Amino acid sequence: MLSLSVHSFAQQELQSLVDGTLDPYQRLQEIRNLTKTESEQEQPRELNVLAPTIAVEEIDRAVVNKLMQEISNDPETTKTRLAASDAQLEDILIIISNARSFINNSEMANVRAMCNAWNRSELEDDSRIEEALNAYKRRAQFTKDFIAKYYRIVLMDIEAVLQGPSLVRFSSYMEDRRRRMASSGAITWGAVVENVTSGREAVHFHCRRN
């Protein structure tokens, strides 16, 4: 039953929200509340990764989305790996698919911030480019921080449907996959803006030259 329902769910590209639509305002409030109380909560262990290639803030989202693919492609193996029931696995799939529908990278907002800084700048040459790139980085970091906070709530939602051995298995799964994803070669989304030299072309391509 789960195999049939999961594959049917996957074929719909997870575009419709199942079992209720997320309330964006409620989610935003949850994220704000999480931010207020984070200092009082136990912080996750720092990952010991030799050569990270993906931003730390993006790792949980990447791992959870990978889990959704595993559930869709091979639900029986995933069920055994997590010691989860059919109902628990389907609940996890719904939670992750709803999260994907709610979150986007806001790359256009990052580029807009870069170009606004470029057009308003009174600096010249490389100093002007650096100012624009810094605006891009600040806006991109804001998005990453938001996504990281949101996916901490997603993980709490998943953990709420698990108990006992399945919760232990899920925690172990996340720790293992975080390390694998952090050094897998996956890269941060967005334009290359590490420095003036690599970012000059991006600024000139996206922003008005004046």
Alpha-carbon dihedral angle through residues 37, 163, 175, 193, given to the nearest 10 degrees? -50
Residues in the chain: 210
Confidence of residue 89 (pLDDT cuts 50, 70, 90): very high
Tokens for 123? 């600096």
pLDDT tens digits, 1-46: 554 454 444 444 333 344 445 566 676 666 667 666 555 554 544 4
Distance linking the first and last C-alpha atoms of the chain: 62
Looking at residue 53, its pLDDT comes to: 63
What average pLDDT does range 183-198 have in this prediction?
A: 65
Residue type, 93: L
**Per-position DSSP letters for the chain, written without gaps between them:** -HHHHHHHHHHTTT-SPPSS---HHHHHHHHHHHHHHGGGSPPPPPP--SS--S-GGGHHHHHHHHHHHHHHH-HHHHHHHHT--HHHHHHHHHHHHHHHHH----HHHHHHHHHHHHHH----HHHHHHHHHHHHHHHHHHHHHHHHHHHHHHHHHHHHT--THHHHHHHHHHHHHHHHHHTSS---SS---SSHHHHHHHHHHHS---
Mean pLDDT estimate for the chain: 79
What average pLDDT does range 159-185 have in this prediction?
A: 90
Kindly tell me if the per-residue pLDDT of 52 is higher than 90.
no
pLDDT tens digits, 131-142: 999 999 999 899
What average pLDDT does range 62-75 have in this prediction?
A: 94
What average pLDDT does range 51-73 have in this prediction?
A: 86
Confidence of residue 107 (pLDDT cuts 50, 70, 90): confident
Kindly tell me if the per-residue pLDDT of 198 is higher than 80.
no
Confidence of residue 67 (pLDDT cuts 50, 70, 90): very high
* Cβ-based neighbour number of residue 65 at 10 Å: 16
Closest CA to 129 of 204, 210, 208: 204
Angle, to 10 degrees, between the axis of helix 2-11 and the axis of helix 86-102?
A: 10
Distance between CA atoms of 167 and 9, rounded to whole angstroms? Answer: 24
Confidence of residue 106 (pLDDT cuts 50, 70, 90): confident
Q: What percent of the chain has pLDDT over 90?
A: 46
Kindly tell me if the per-residue pLDDT of 81 is higher than 90.
yes
What average pLDDT does range 166-189 have in this prediction?
A: 84
